[in-house]
Structure 1
């Protein structure tokens, strides 16, 4: 077993210009690092790392042998800004077997370790002390330094590889799917407790965790409601409504101060919600389709009469991009901004007014797959 010495040297741009780009590059994966300072793109020909603020490409490692040169990467996980990355092969011509996690050291320019499994790897999560590998019905947790297996967790079918872990040093909190539809499992390694939360009636399709692991956000296949839970006791703290019609929720993200939540869906919209997590637990209601948002705010005395959508809160700010496209969202380092990454290679930095709300303003946009082309 390869021993990995954790090295926190920062990744840095190469001194020479990037190599020529393959004729045709398709995105297979997009993800932010733990503090949204960078994002990683896995493609049919390798991977690239970008800085988010200011936006720039930091480096790329990819094949340039034409359209069919191969080298597909379906998952790239960064560890903040250090030189160690976790890679999983994917696409029509994978760079590595799809059942392996390769530990890449970019300073050495090679893989320094690997983890092999019987089935396809769906996703990977990294902490400074742990590597978490997600398969379709099982999760494996390894010690980062020596790749020693520490724990196995069984889950319900998990084709999207849903799992999140706290990033701050100290006590680790992990959230993943349970063994039943709509159920979330919370592992608190400080108290050595396992809790199960029945988050939704239908299957969970997206989850997010605050940096310290205290708050959990979940969305179901209905895509109308997002729920915020306490990982400490499993109580429902708040419920926000993306919309009245069904949608596929693609991405959830807490702000660094956990006072806002961003949500993207296949409707081409990104919503920002103000969170009020200090208001105490609330009663769960069914995440079902409902009518339009309320137009008045002084009807609490009619709570028992009004439709259920009056109990959930609507976004303070939103933006509509291209419908049907998958977007990954995170909060920017500039005040009141979100960064939105599209699977077409689009990068948007948008600003919102947390008080007045309404439509967000696009303050910066790029096509990071084709830098010479502008976004429409």
Structure 2
């Protein structure tokens, strides 16, 4: 972990993996993935510390203040509109500290220690809270949100996942014996990946049935690991994950850094993985679906320098 990890507090891909956003000590940066270049950021109006930055589309950002000189307090989520070049009059004022924000289409999930709220845009700058759900203690801000308002969050007991979906009754899955560390939903909201703080096994569930059928268990390794990020491929045939073991698992690949990393699949090229790290490094990797083996590194760079 280096000094860049202290500068970049949070990194997240957008919904279609064409861009990623970085929450910084003195503002926000948004990068195009292919080719890698700075799209916008470092705006003087946003030149204050951020803890979280998430992207609804390519031009609207959900921001949470943080650091020594925060943009705002840690209970208020503000919206930056790049088209208007200003912070929107709409914001989300929460009862306790916000630990994570997840955005998909016109839905926004706001995660607190013991509660998750889901808000949906009804028209410009107006939202409606469609529900809130109490969770077990969730200091990691574990949550996943997919189009169609499918939401996966911790339940009321350790290792339990609660699924909320439009036009269906909520249901729970007893996924792990230990505390959840990471959740991921497929883009069509039909599949769920779960990992616990033990980090040795990832479980895949079908959730379109309304009760959560376990489809597969994927063994990451024998040693305990912190799973940082998981992502399904667009065709749902692959799952990629990053962990504190400096590896990406679709097939094993050794990163050059131990910095916190987030992973997604390229929207332009099949069998291609994109990884953005908090120490400002970016990787583009290709894997062989037929023969496996070590992934080929197609790109490695430091993104503030592109």
Superposition TM-score, scaled by structure 1 size:
0.75
Whether 1:150 aligns to 2:85 is: no
Structure 1 residue 323: Cα displacement: 5.7
Who is 2:187 aligned against?
A: 211
Structure 1 residue 270: Cα displacement: 0.4
Who is 1:51 aligned against?
A: 32
Who is 1:244 aligned against?
A: 222
Distance 1:351 1:138 in 2: 38
Q: Do 1:172 and 1:190's aligned partners in 2 also have CA atoms closer than 8 Å?
A: no
Indicate how the Cα distance of structure 1 residues 323 and 54 shifts in structure 2: closer, same or farther if over 3 A, else same.
closer
SS of equivalent to 1:218? strand
Structure 1 residue 321: Cα displacement: 1.1
Distance 1:243 1:187 in 2: 31
Who is 1:180 aligned against?
A: 157
Q: Do 2:143 and 2:182's aligned partners in 1 also have CA atoms closer than 8 Å?
A: no
SS of equivalent to 1:58? strand
Whether 1:189 aligns to 2:183 is: no
Who is 2:255 aligned against?
A: 321
Structure 1 residue 172: Cα displacement: 2.3
Whether 1:253 aligns to 2:234 is: no
How big is each residue's C-alpha offset from its partner over 1:122-165, in whole Å with a ceiling of 9 and x where there is no partner? Answer: 11122333222111111112231322322111011112211112
Superposition TM-score, scaled by structure 2 size:
0.92
How big is each residue's C-alpha offset from its partner over 1:93-121, in whole Å with a ceiling of 9 and x where there is no partner? Answer: 21111110101111111111111112111
SS of equivalent to 1:147? strand
Distance 1:141 1:110 in 2: 24
How big is each residue's C-alpha offset from its partner over 1:63-97, in whole Å with a ceiling of 9 and x where there is no partner? Answer: 59xxxx9611111111232x222111112221111
Structure 1 residue 57: Cα displacement: 0.9
Larger RCO: 1 or 2 (CA < 8 Å, sep 6+): 2
Distance 1:130 1:330 in 2: 20
- Consecutive unaligned residues of structure 1, counting only runs of 5 or more, are 1-22, 273-316
Q: Over the residues paired in the alignment, what is the CA RMSD in angstroms?
A: 2.0
Q: Do 2:227 and 2:242's aligned partners in 1 also have CA atoms closer than 8 Å?
A: yes
Higher Cα radius of gyration: 1
Distance 1:101 1:153 in 2: 18
- Consecutive unaligned residues of structure 2, counting only runs of 5 or more, are none
Correspondence 1:155-304 to 2 at 5 A: 155-167=135-147, 171-191=148-168, 193-232=169-208, 233-272=211-250
Distance 2:152 2:279 in 1: 29
Distance 2:216 2:57 in 1: 29
Task: Provide the aligned length of Structure 1 versus Structure 2.
Answer: 296
Correspondence 1:14-25 to 2 at 5 A: none
More strand by share: 2
Q: Do 1:45 and 1:63's aligned partners in 2 also have CA atoms closer than 8 Å?
A: no
Say which of 8, 30, 54 aligns to 2:11: 30
Correspondence 1:96-107 to 2 at 5 A: 96-107=72-83
Say which of 296, 311, 330 aligns to 2:264: 330
Who is 1:288 aligned against?
A: none
